[in-house]
């Protein structure tokens, strides 16, 4: 009887040790898992700046949606798959916006979305800047882009800030228009836990 009690007692200790190791392992690997986030369109801003006849002009897009998996402690496990509604282009001039929706520019009837899918995220939260590389698709043309961004914790998620430059002709937007070939896109994206 005494021997059985010892074995049972020893078995409980062994069981408790295994449980503690398992729980400890979960806490140690938890930072490696990314949080699943959803972009919040109403709290985000996707804007652009371009020169037209030498003067700065710009606009914005909305309809932001997609999925983001993010953990600043594990950039390798992060990914972005987001898109905006090309029809929402807004430069503050309705006639110009309608022209930009036409076949010569964004052809929103045939290409309703502008999409970015990340391929790789690198960097460190220690210096505050991360880098993302991925595929940008506009008007049915996909090109590789890479740019730095920051991720600031906000309630239930993150605020991502970044900017990148593209050549509109690479995406067959605008043809021989008077606007500059190059434009800068500015990102201010709020994403929250699903």
- Nearest of 103, 188, 95 to residue 149 by alpha carbon: 188
Residue 10 half-sphere exposure, CB side, CA atoms within 13 Å?
6
Q: Is the pLDDT of residue 46 over 70?
A: yes
pLDDT at residue 126 in the model: 66
Average pLDDT over residues 98-117: 97
pLDDT at residue 85 in the model: 98
pLDDT at residue 33 in the model: 58
Distance CA 114, CA 79 (A): 17
Distance CA 25, CA 92 (A): 54
Q: Per the structure block, which two tokens stand in for 100?
A: 């930009």
C-alpha torsion sign, points 3, 4, 5, 8: positive
pLDDT at residue 82 in the model: 98
Distance CA 122, CA 115 (A): 20
Helices and strands, counts by H and E, the chain: 2, 9
- Nearest of 50, 41, 134 to residue 85 by alpha carbon: 41
Residue 114 half-sphere exposure, CB side, CA atoms within 13 Å?
22
Distance CA 120, CA 102 (A): 33
pLDDT at residue 35 in the model: 85
Average pLDDT over residues 163-181: 92
pLDDT at residue 48 in the model: 98
Please report which confidence band the pLDDT of residue 18 belongs to, taking 50, 70 and 90 as the band edges: low
The domain 33-193 is placed in CATH, from the list 1.20.120.1230, 1.20.1440.230, 2.40.128.110, 3.40.50.740, at 2.40.128.110
65-104 tens-digit pLDDT: 999 999 988 999 999 999 999 999 999 999 999 999 999 9
């Amino acid at each position: 009887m005494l021997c059985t009690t010892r074995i049972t007692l020893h078995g409980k200790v062994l069981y408790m040790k295994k449980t503690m190791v398992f729980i400890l392992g979960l806490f140690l690997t938890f930072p490696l898992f990314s949080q699943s986030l959803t972009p919040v369109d109403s709290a985000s801003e996707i804007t652009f700046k371009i020169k037209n006849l030498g003067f700065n002009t710009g606009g914005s897009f909305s309809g932001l949606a997609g999925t983001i998996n993010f953990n600043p402690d594990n950039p390798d496990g992060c990914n972005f798959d987001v898109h905006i509604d090309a029809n929402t282009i807004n430069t503050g001039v309705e006639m110009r916006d309608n022209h930009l929706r036409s076949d010569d520019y964004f052809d929103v009837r045939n290409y309703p979305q502008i999409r970015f899918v990340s391929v790789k995220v690198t960097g460190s939260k220690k210096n505050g800047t991360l880098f993302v590389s991925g595929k940008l698709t506009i008007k049915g043309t996909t090109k590789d882009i890479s740019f730095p961004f920051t991720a600031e914790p906000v309630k239930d998620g993150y605020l991502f800030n970044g900017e990148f430059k593209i050549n509109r002709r690479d995406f067959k937007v605008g043809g021989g228009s008077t606007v500059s070939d190059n434009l800068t896109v500015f990102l201010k994206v709020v994403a929250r836990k699903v």
